Amino acid sequence: MLPVCVGADEPSVPLSAKSAVLYEAQGGRWVYEKDADVRLPMASTTKIMTALIALRTLELDAEYKIPAEACGIEGSSLYLKEGDTVSVRDLMYALLLRSANDAASALAILSFGSESAFADEMNAEARRLGLQNTSFKNPHGLDTEGHYSSARDLAVMLDAAMRDERFLEICGCEKYTVALDGRSQVLYNHNKLLYLTDYVTCGKTGYTKKSGRCLVSAAERDGVRLIAVTMSASDDWNDHIRLFDYGFGRFERRTVISKADRIYADVAGGTKAGVQCAPTEDFSAVLEKGSTVTCDTLLPSLILAPICEGEIIGILRIYENERLIGEICLAACEAIEYKEQRIPLIRRIFKAVSGK
């Protein structure tokens, strides 16, 4: 389902961010936008894409010796040393909790041999995801000419990464201990929203002097999943709380169709004149509060017996405010046998015409 915009109403309190979006993930809806497609430096939110590709390329429990090229990277660091034996799992936790730049570099080199080759794959994945305003030059997000993204693209990026349960587990972890050849380090997640709220599930922070504070986070409450992005924000924690309060106040998950529902369909040539049919599954969706849901039943113009119990005989299309949000098959709840006639119709017609 293609993402749609459902309105430009703003949260009651203005945001500090230069650029921001709020995305309702299940329905693919852009709920709030503020300069959402402006290209800006993204700092360590870059590591969302780094994690996505590294998880696809490397086995979590594999261990590697750290190459010299991954050591001494400026900024937040795991303080890797050349020759350290480290698991991919530990590097991933360092990447997403501490935002370690040397872990990002190590994962890139171990995956594709060099940072530049890894950046090429990051850009290829960006194209596959349809990101129009993103360009990667490195795996860590340190300021580099031509390294940028947009609030909208970062939301799509996090949505894609969250489809991997391993990413969710690591990115949503509050504390983790790594061991580097006997040297233990306790890592604490930089995403304070994990501690400030009971609904934020994961996210990634970022900061450089050029980018300002960047934050991408996901939250879930009562079956509603939201993704918020702020770029160049002086008050990003509160910006995200305001965005999530706004989104959770606007949407709810509703069960629209149940397998217990019944629809009657006419049947020709059977032992019964009709058959009851039911949806093959329950259908629930994230909907705007107060929105209208309607259904269209699509059945053949003529349903002929015999019909087997469980046979698919139609489709139910479900709309929210005239927007198609789902389709469910309709199956027969019972078997209808063919009603055999003493004199088939063609013989009766022949008898009437010929008089025989």
Q: What pLDDT digit, counting tens, does each position of 154-203 carry?
A: 999 999 999 999 999 999 999 999 988 778 899 999 999 999 999 999 99
Over 70: is that where the pLDDT of 308 sits?
A: yes
Rounded to an integer, the average pLDDT of 133-151 is 98
Per-residue confidence at 270, pLDDT binned at 50, 70, 90?
confident
CB 257 within 8 A of CB 236: no
71-99 pLDDT per residue, tens: 999 999 999 999 999 999 999 999 999 99
In angstroms, the CA 30 to CA 99 distance is 28
pTM equals: 0.87
Give backbone dihedrals phi and psi of 286, rounded to 5 degrees, phi first.
-85, 120
Q: Report pLDDT for 356.
A: 52
Rounded to an integer, the average pLDDT of 253-275 is 92
Catalytic residues: 44, 47, 99
Per-residue confidence at 35, pLDDT binned at 50, 70, 90?
very high
In angstroms, the CA 141 to CA 50 distance is 10
Which amino acid is located at 166 in the chain? R
Q: Report pLDDT for 7.
A: 47
Q: Report pLDDT for 12.
A: 59
191-232 pLDDT per residue, tens: 999 999 999 999 999 999 999 999 999 999 999 999 999 999
DSSP for 159-172, please give it.
Answer: HHHTTSHHHHHHHT
**HSE toward the beta carbon, residue 193, CA cutoff 13 A:** 29
Q: Report pLDDT for 177.
A: 96
Q: Which of 300, 297, 305 is nearest to 262 (CA)?
A: 297
Which amino acid is located at 224 in the chain? V
Question: Which domains, and CATH codes, for the chain?
Answer: 4-252 (3.40.710.10), 258-332 (2.60.410.10)
Over 60: is that where the pLDDT of 351 sits?
A: no
Q: Report pLDDT for 282.
A: 95
